[in-house]
Amino acid sequence: MKRWLKKPEGANWGEFGDDDRVGRMNLVTPACRRRALAEAREGRVFVLSLPLDHPRGGIFPGRHAPSLEPTIARDGRTMYDWTVVGAIDVVNDDRVTMDLQYSTQWDGLSHYGVRFDSDGDGEAEHVYYNGFSSDDFIQPGPDREPRALSLGIEHLAQTGVQGRGVLVDIREAGAGPHNLVNFAALREAMQAQSVQVEEGDFLCLYTGYADLLLRDGADVSTDELAACPGLEGGDPELLRWIDESGVAAICADNPMVEKIEGVQRCEDAALLPLHEHCLVKLGIHLGELWWFGELAPWLRENRRSGFLLTAPPLRLPGAVGSPATPVATV
């Protein structure tokens, strides 16, 4: 069912069907996966996740670190060292409370929307990828659990999230006081590192941010973190290239992929233009706070940029984002 009369300029809504819920993941075809498998030549793996209790102290107020506690068994006992009289079994079960987007994570297509008049009645609604709207969410209430009905993260999980990752080191590519990386700078970095991006690839961006979060025992200053580069979402050439390149997803080791400090913005435009372009207009999932600290040097030493990436989110119905433990195989 087509849900909109008007779509935002540059949106691909309808391209993968009026009911599509996974966007550019449609471009990760069996042929793409075979190409990705061919990158797994050594059989060596790299984990691309931070420990999920990082960033210590948090980055976004309101997103809390995981807190573990034992499950309460039917008999009221906590299930740590749980035993049954007359048997030798010892069982531990636990539960976690955490914000799904605290650490290494996927932004689902229901994580971010914009106010836009998609039904042409002169009033802006809250719209998401492919014209889904706030009607496709259950809002929290006294007897209701909230959930994204149409664009929950389970749809991404069901694709398997496996394909070819290509890593670009943009640590030195940024410019200006905020170290913004525009299209010209990204292209230069890709050329210097012989990175070829093909349709259906997962573009991975190494900024060094997550390395700082893991720095052993040392305090990391907010200035050091702020100096790490990020994409300049306000650069129209960058947005055009993201569209034309056919990338399936963009994954970075920083908190937002893009940086918003110092970005020129028109009145009533999005604060996060790359989020708008990727998540709303094109259905490109964003991976955030990934960790490339071991993979990047190995790829550099071996003069490679491609790898087999396997990065499913939790298959958690109705969630708008998810922690992930992405794995690179080289």
Tell me the CA end-to-end span of the chain in Å, nearest whole number: 42
Q: Which residues, numbered 44-103, are part of the site for ligand UVW (CB under 6 A)?
A: 101
Q: Is 277 in the site for ligand UVW (CB under 6 A)?
A: no
Q: What residue is closest to ligand UVW based on CB?
A: 256
Binds ligand UVW by CB under 6 A, chosen from 22, 197, 248, 256? 256
Q: How many helices (H) and strands (E) does the chain have?
A: 8, 20
Residues 44, 301: Cα–Cα separation, whole Å? 14
- Number of C-beta neighbours around residue 176 at 10 A: 12
Q: Is 104 in the site for ligand UVW (CB under 6 A)?
A: no
Nearer to ligand UVW by Cβ, of 105 and 150: the residue is 105
The answer to whether residues 245 and 199 touch, using CB atoms and an 8 Å cutoff, is yes
Nearer to ligand UVW by Cβ, of 63 and 187: the residue is 63
Q: Is 202 in the site for ligand UVW (CB under 6 A)?
A: no
Least separation in angstroms between residue 59's CB and ligand UVW is 9
Binds ligand UVW by CB under 6 A, chosen from 107, 154, 232, 276? 107
Nearer to ligand UVW by Cβ, of 13 and 112: the residue is 112
Q: Encoding tokens for residue 188? A: 């230069």
Q: Is 323 in the site for ligand UVW (CB under 6 A)?
A: no
> Which positions ≥6 away from 320 have C-beta within 8 Å?
100, 107, 108, 110, 111, 148, 151, 152, 153
Binds ligand UVW by CB under 6 A, chosen from 163, 230, 255, 306? 255
